[in-house]
Amino acid sequence: MLENRNEIKDEFKWDLESIYKNEDELNKDFEKIKNLLEDIKKYKGILGESEDNLYQTLNLYEQISRLAENTYVYTHMKQHEDTRDTKQQSLSGKSDMLSTQIGTVTSFMIPEIISIDEEKMNEYLNNDKLKPYKKLIDQILRKKPYTLSPKEEEILAMSSDVANVAENAFDMLSFADIKFPEIEDEKGEKVRLTHGNFSKFLQSKNREVRKNAFVNMYDTYTKYKNTFAATLEGSVKREIFYAKARNYDSAIQASLFEDDINLSVYDNLIEVIAKNLDTMHKYLKLKKEFLRLDEIHMYDMYTPLVEKLDIKKPYEEAKEIILKALKPLGDEYLELIQRAFDEKWIDVYENEGKKGGAYSWGSYDSHPFILLNYKDDLNSLFTLAHELGHSAHSYYSRKNQPYLYSHYKIFVAEVASTLNEQLLMDYMLKNSKSDDERVYILNYYLEQFRTTVYRQTMFAEFEKIIHEKSENQETLTNEEFCNIYYDLNAKYYGKDVCVDDEIGMEWARVPHFYSNFYVYKYATGFSAAATLSHNILSGDSNAVDKYLEFLKSGGSEYPLNQLKKAGVDMEDEKAIQIALDTFKELVDELEKSK
């Protein structure tokens, strides 16, 4: 039985009062934002008439955005403490509506900035007041070929709520309406299958439990196959619509343009992984041998190789391990991690109604916050290290960049978190206490490669195929989705795996397919982190300094340039290959452990 929120000790809760002490303070900021929105409206149509008008508009937008970030982050984190709390639901809903309103009211800015004559804009930027906004204006001017008239931009901004209907319908169907059947657990007791316990069942030592969970999960999804196909196709069409409306060549170009990423980076990832599938196939063959199976099925993928070992990592011990593992990053970094532990950045344990999973969040004016549901196991230890990486990246970005350039791009968002995990893995392999523990940790690390590099690349290839088909006016039916997805699984997992028919429906379970062309960033981020951690652990004297500078650069540059300065060129296939070479070495090491 889970504890209620008020039963959790304060030392294990985050300190959201450091943002707003009470609802009155929150409401004052809501009112400030509304007043500022009225002020910024006055510049619609006249933004480019003088340098002062341009400055006033940008300054007001910065104030609005910074305040709105505080209200949005606070209300949603407060709701996540107990999602059943209707008052907090209402406040987070208020923030959502305000965000849409901000987008609508300020939609005139980019078209008007773009319409300013180049010579006049250069004169404006000589004004000292406008110099802090030069990078922002440069970023806006990049979008000139893809920006519409002020009225058209306003219409697109107003359409955002409608455009999210497919994703909202998916969320409601998948997480609220669907009811899964009961299955028998390891003790023979009837337990209802849920999203929350599905992954645990797939790790069960009892193969029949794994199989029943797998079959019942996808049989249930199959009953709604046409609805899920309609929601996913709707999401794909949404991205294609916005890409076409803005004159991009394709949905993928529109998505990559925001981060200034070349399509070659996306294609290289898929191609290099394809050249290294033999290592994945070797790993899965070894897995079959370790598990002593005649056939290895999709429901065996998450089964630990060491049956009897159950590594417990209580939270206090986890903190000590992480501080030791991250020692190669130097004293400055370690002091920051210690602050996260000491200053209540972390909401540690699960309680009734608390949002599941884990994340790192916060605003420019707050310290980072981490939501956990800590379970005293190895996975929780790695999750904590992962989220601390995100928090360190956010902290350094905010402390070293002005507000407008403090938000790093999603493309690099997984680098710091994954690098922390890789340093932790290196530490734990070097300090394993038995052969079984070493195999267990090796397997855990190899699974990170399988699920983060190979599997996310498979997802990326699936996304590319379905968008191209839709752009070529091909209808995406449930059957089409299933066939594409099944064939990709057969390709990625190889002939030694029995690719069960049910896996063809897995696409219907993946929320990330509604954040188009996002998942490839997990694979590229992991690969970049593998190269950077290799540089750090190999004793490169400048590697740590370059890495910390990368963390501090925030959103002041585009991601590929940031990573090049840190020591990894993601436009070069070698960046992916270095990570896969590490994977190959670990597979060979596992083979020797048989």
Distance between CA atoms of residues 225 and 250, nearest Å: 27
Residue 11 and residue 344 in contact, taking contact as beta carbons nearer than 8 Å: yes
**How many other C-beta atoms can be found within 10 angstroms of the C-beta atom of residue 329?**
22
Main-chain dihedrals φ then ψ at residue 9, nearest 5 degrees: -60, 140
What is the distance between the alpha carbons of residues 515 and 258, in angstroms, rounded to a whole number? 14
Residue 487 CB partners (closer than 8 Å, separation 6+):
none
SS3 (DSSP) at 340: helix
Residue 378 one-letter amino acid: L
Half-sphere exposure of 580 (CA within 13 A, CB side): 22
Burial of 218 (0-12, 13-18, 19+ CB in 10 A): buried
Which residues have a Cβ under 8 Å from the Cβ of 25 and sit 6 or more positions away?
none
Rounded Cα gap, residues 496 and 460, in angstroms:
23
The CA distances from residue 212 to 186, 202, 288, 345, 521, in Å, are 11, 9, 19, 40, 33
Tell me the longest C-alpha to C-alpha distance in the chain: 77
| DSSP string computed for 2-37 | PPPGGGS-GGGS--GGGT-SSHHHHHHHHHHHHHHH
The single residue listed with the structure tokens 């532990």 is 341
Pairing state between β 296-297 and 346-347: unpaired
Give the amino acid at 113.
Answer: I
Q: What amino acid positions are annotated as catalytic residues?
A: 387
**For residues 428 and 322, what is the distance between their CA atoms, to the nearest angstrom?**
10
For 117: left if phi > 0, alpha if psi spans -120 to 50, otherwise beta; the answer is: beta
Give the span between the Cα atoms of 594 and 586, in whole angstroms. Answer: 13
Phi, psi of 305 (to 5 degrees): -75, -25
Q: Quote the CA–CA distance of 23 and 233 in Å, as a whole number.
A: 41
Distance CA(263)–CA(563), nearest Å, equals 17
Enumerate the β-bridge partners of residue 184.
Answer: 190
State the sign of the Cα–Cα–Cα–Cα dihedral 90, 96, 102, 104: negative
The Cα–Cα gap between 57 and 54 comes to: 5
The strand pairing partners of 370, in sequence order, are: 346, 360
| Measured distance CA(455)–CA(469) in Å, rounded | 21
Count CB neighbours of 45 within 10 A.
Answer: 11
- Residues composing the chain: 594
Neighbours of 512 (CB within 10 A): 14
